[in-house]
Chains A and B, each alone.
Chain A
Amino acid sequence: MNKVVANADEAIKDIESGATLMLGGFGLCGIPENCIAALVRKGVNNLTCISNNAGVDDFGIGLMLQQKQVKKMISSYVGENAEFERQLLSGELEVELIPQGTLATRCMATGYGMPAVYLLAGVGTEVAEGKEVRTFKGKEYLLEEAFDSDFAIVKAWKGDTMGNLVFKDTARNFNPMMAMAGKITIAEVEELVEPGALDPNFVHTPGIYVHRIFQGANYEKRIEQRTVRKKQ
């Protein structure tokens, strides 16, 4: 049960143009930097990307947008990216905006084997257009379908060769649900360890959901909004 691949290029080698990808991360926190760089190198295009955000101009998914590799973004928040805005306004890029909790839960539903869930967010707004509305205990809900994706690409702190993953701090965010939701799930980790090195009680994503794993290199971990206070 060894799922280790050599590097990011190896991990993504069968991702073809036109694929639907899930990419973990919140802003630039917990994004699969190595795989994004490999996708840029490979030059695949026409991609549909499901990711909470679209990176910034020169980092994260922004790097793929620069190379015009993305056909459609499915996200909850896409501010802070001028190239994204330009492509959207010029009609080069499609975007589907989804409430953040709905996005997370539609990924979760996939990983739990549920075809759809009823959710509150967006009732009475344009998000509800075309969706089945059902009332439970006097409250209206929207039927939201689980996401299909060809590949889920996530970033974890530690992982073992069997694909068990542990995330660190708020770099966890969308990574665990997306890891559960890929037809093929690729995990890049800061530290790859042998089975037994992770305490099974503290595994966040069981290896059954992960198909390929590798130790990433040269993590930049860029900070989007550096906010600090002075020592007294």
Chain B
Amino acid sequence: MALNKEQIAQRIARELQDGFYVNLGIGIPTLVANYIPEGVNVVLQSENGLLGMGPFPYEGEEDADMINAGKQTITKLPGSAIFDSAMSFGMIRAGKVHLTVLGAMEVADNGDIANWKIPGKMVKGMGGAMDLVAAAENIIVAMQHTNPKGESKLLPRCTLPLTGVRCVKKIVTDLGVFDVTPDGFRCLEYAPGVTIEEIKQKTAGRLSIAEDAREMAF
């Protein structure tokens, strides 16, 4: 069985380390906050100007002045800090944020990522994604392995306009966990019940299978 979105988030949460400052993008990445392992303390950064993002407010306590980068109402935590957008991207650019998790439309086997524009269709803009992928040392992409047409999103080269070049280090899809290496994608783990054959068939970019590749456990 391929992973559902919650399981993709749950698997990514295992990459969090105690003391990390983490930026979670919109969509599946946001769900990672629900699975932070016990004993691991991380501080969530929201690029509109907040460190120490708390959960959604209780009904009736939402505040229009307190939102995350997805424009959702959120809360502060004890120890939170507020700052402006220039400082927010300053700390991202300066490498203070340890991990960025974001979604993608395509990832290439050299680590290129495309996630902001489909030419000819509506262009919504890159928001903070280009700044984040250019700066972060550690980028994990959370996405489906194939698009709705069943075509691979793990490609030899991105076909869509790029968000960043050679920046993705790790990808967690519904089928498995992959590192981006000089030799292309390397499958480290596969989803329960998913075969290596299926992963090979649905990965268009260069792919190798780690010798100790194992089935994920939940």
Chain A residues with a Cβ under 8 A of chain B = 26-30, 52, 75-79, 85, 88-89, 95, 97, 99-105, 107-108, 119-127, 157, 167-177, 204, 221-231
> Which residues of the partner chain B approach A171 to less than 8 Å between Cβ atoms?
64-65
Interface segment, one of B46-54, B142-150, B195-203, B206-214: B46-54
Cβ-defined contact, B67 with A174, below 8 A? no
**Given A79-B124, A125-B164, A228-B58, 6 additional A-B pairs, CB 8 A:** A101-B93, A126-B162, A172-B83, A223-B62, A229-B55, A230-B59
How many residues in B have their beta carbons less than 8 Å from beta carbons of A? 54
Residues of B within 8 A of A124 (CB): 112, 162, 164-165
- CB neighbours (8 Å) of A119 from chain B are 93
Q: Are A77 and B124 in contact (CB under 8 A)?
A: yes
Contact (Cβ within 8 A) B84 A125: no
In the complex formed, the residue of A with least CB distance to B85 is: A104
- Whether A27 pairs with B58 at a CB distance below 8 angstroms is no
Q: Give A229's nearest chain B residue, CB to CB.
A: B56
In the complex, what's the smallest C-beta–C-beta distance from A179 to chain B, in angstroms? 10
Chain B residues 126 to 173 lying within 8 A of chain A, measured CB to CB, are 126-131, 134-135, 161-165
Residues on A with beta carbons closer than 8 Å to the beta carbon of B69: 26
Contact B83 A101 (CB under 8 A): no
8 contacts between A and B (CB under 8 A): A26-B49, A26-B69, A79-B124, A85-B122, A123-B165, A225-B72, A229-B56, A231-B59
Q: Which 4 A-B pairs have the closest CB atoms?
A: A101-B89, A101-B131, A124-B165, A79-B124
Hey, which bits of chain B sit against chain A, CB under 8 A? 46-50, 55-74, 76, 82-86, 88-90, 92-93, 112, 122-131, 134-135, 161-165
Q: Are A121 and B65 in contact (CB under 8 A)?
A: no
Check A104/B86 contact, CB under 8 A, given A30-B65, A120-B131: yes
Q: A121-B130, A169-B65 are in contact. Are A107 and B86 (CB under 8 A)?
A: yes
Q: Measured between C-beta atoms, what is the minimum distance from A95 to chain B in Å?
A: 8
A177 in contact with B85 (CB, 8 Å): yes
> In the complex, A125→B131 CA distance in Å?
12
B65 / chain A contacts, CB cutoff of 8 Å = 29-30, 157, 168-171, 221
Chain B residue nearest to A85 in the complex (CB) = B122
| Most chain B CB atoms below 10 A, which of A52, A101, A222, A231 | A101
Question: Which of B58, B124, B130 counts the most A-chain CB atoms under 10 A from its CB?
Answer: B130
A173→B58 contact, CB < 8 A? no
Q: Within the assembled complex, what's the spacing in Å between the Cα atoms of A173 and B48? A: 6
With A and B bound together, what is the CA distance between A225 and B71 in angstroms?
6
Bound state CA distance, A44 and B123, in angstroms?
Answer: 27
- Check if A29 sits within 8 Å of B48, measured CB to CB: yes
Known A-B contacts A124-B165, A125-B161, A224-B71; A169 and B85 likewise in contact (beta carbons under 8 Å): no
Q: How far is the CA of A104 from the CA of B127 in the complex (A)?
A: 11
- Asked whether, in the complex, the Cβ of B49 is within 8 Å of the Cβ of A172, the reply is yes
Q: Given A52-B85, A170-B46, A173-B84, does the pair A100, B127 have CB atoms closer than 8 Å?
A: yes
- Asked whether B86 lies within 8 Å of A99 as measured between CB atoms, the reply is no
Nearest-neighbour CB distance to chain A for B143, whole angstroms, equals 19
CA distance A224 to B49 in the complex (A): 17
Which chain B residues lie closer than 8 Å to A227 at the CB level?
A: 56, 62, 72-74
B119 to chain A, nearest CB (A): 10
Are A125 and B63 interface neighbours, CB within 8 A? Answer: no
Q: How far is the CA of A124 from the CA of B63 in the complex (A)?
A: 39
Select one of A100, A108, A231 contacting B47, CB under 8 A.
A100
How far apart are the CA atoms of A29 and B74 in the complex, in Å? 13
B82: which of A101, A120, A125, A172 is its contact (CB, 8 Å)?
Answer: A172
B67 touches A125 (CB 8 A): no
A159 and B163 CA atoms in complex are apart in Å by 39
Cβ distance A198 to chain B, nearest Cβ, rounded Å: 17
